[in-house]
Copies of this chain bind each other. A is one copy, B any other.
Amino acid sequence: MKPSETGVERPDVSSRRIRRRDRLFSAGESCSFIYAVRHGFFKSCMVDTAGREQVVGFHMKGDLIGMDGLASRRHAVDAVALEDSEVQLVPLNGPAVAVELAREVARQHRAMMVLGTMTAPERLTAFLGDLSRRFALLGFSPTEFHLRMTRADIASYLGLKLETVSRLFSEFERNGLIQVARQHVRIVDRARLEQRLRATPQA
């Protein structure tokens, strides 16, 4: 912390600032770095030949972004900042990368489980639980937080439509499980919310 103690700017060559709505990188670009989120919030999304978008992940402080490009040396997803953010450049072969890569695989398997086996209400419950847990790990409140992504982003990530997500938020609120006001969420009855995950139709 020597060069720039005069101001908020930190012209560290190994870090980079990204403003809300800007892209850290785009699909197709060559992959020269992995990025560690210092602060801020990102989504990764793919667009298929028909123009349909799929959000494949959300990334917050401490997460690595860009590992999708390691195999082909070319990014397969767009990484978009959902708020003003700062990332730190990480060398491709760093030791941290291998470990995070393995974690990413485990995360994706859970995501497949969500998309493959769960109903819409279960998906949203799983999503809220995941966010809650991750915020808690960072020292933030697990019961009250700010959604950085739109309903459309959530819907895409969960394999639903934005109207469905909106309706479910409203329904959860009517049932006293959460409180929602646009981007702000408060989990009111965590226990009852999570029962939805175990409650299978006929088992």
With a cutoff of 8 Å between Cβ atoms, the chain B residues found around residue A136 in the complex are none
Asked if B77 and A109 make an inter-chain contact with CB atoms under 8 angstroms apart, the answer reads: yes
In whole angstroms, how far apart are the Cα atoms of A109 and B103 in the complex?
14
Tell which of A51, A53, A116, A200 has the most Cβ of chain B within 10 Å.
A116
State whether the Cβ of A203 lies closer than 8 Å to any Cβ in chain B.
yes
> Of all chain B residues, which has the CB nearest A76?
B106
Asked if A68 and B106 make an inter-chain contact with CB atoms under 8 angstroms apart, the answer reads: yes
In whole angstroms, how far apart are the Cα atoms of A101 and B68 in the complex?
10
Q: How many residues of A are counted as interface, with CB atoms below 8 angstroms from the partner's CB atoms?
A: 43
Query: Which stretch from A42-50, A172-180, A185-193 is at the chain B interface?
Result: A42-50
Give the secondary structure class of A's interface: helix
Neighbour of A109 across the interface among B53, B56, B110, B156, CB < 8 A: B56
In whole angstroms, how far apart are the Cα atoms of A202 and B70 in the complex?
34
Please, what's the 1-or-0 string for A25-57, where 1 marks a CB less than 8 Å from any CB in chain B? 000000000000000000000101111111110
Neighbour of A108 across the interface among B108, B157, B197, B203, CB < 8 A: B108
State whether the Cβ of A159 lies closer than 8 Å to any Cβ in chain B.
yes
With a cutoff of 8 Å between Cβ atoms, the chain B residues found around residue A199 in the complex are 50
Please, what's the 1-or-0 string for A159-176, where 1 marks a CB less than 8 Å from any CB in chain B? 100000000000000000
Within the complex, what minimum Cβ distance (angstroms) separates A176 from chain B? 23
> Of all chain B residues, which has the CB nearest A72?
B106
Q: Which of A63-97 contact B (CB under 8 A)?
A: 67-68, 70-72, 76-77
With a cutoff of 8 Å between Cβ atoms, the chain B residues found around residue A115 in the complex are 112, 115-116, 159
With a cutoff of 8 Å between Cβ atoms, the chain B residues found around residue A8 in the complex are none
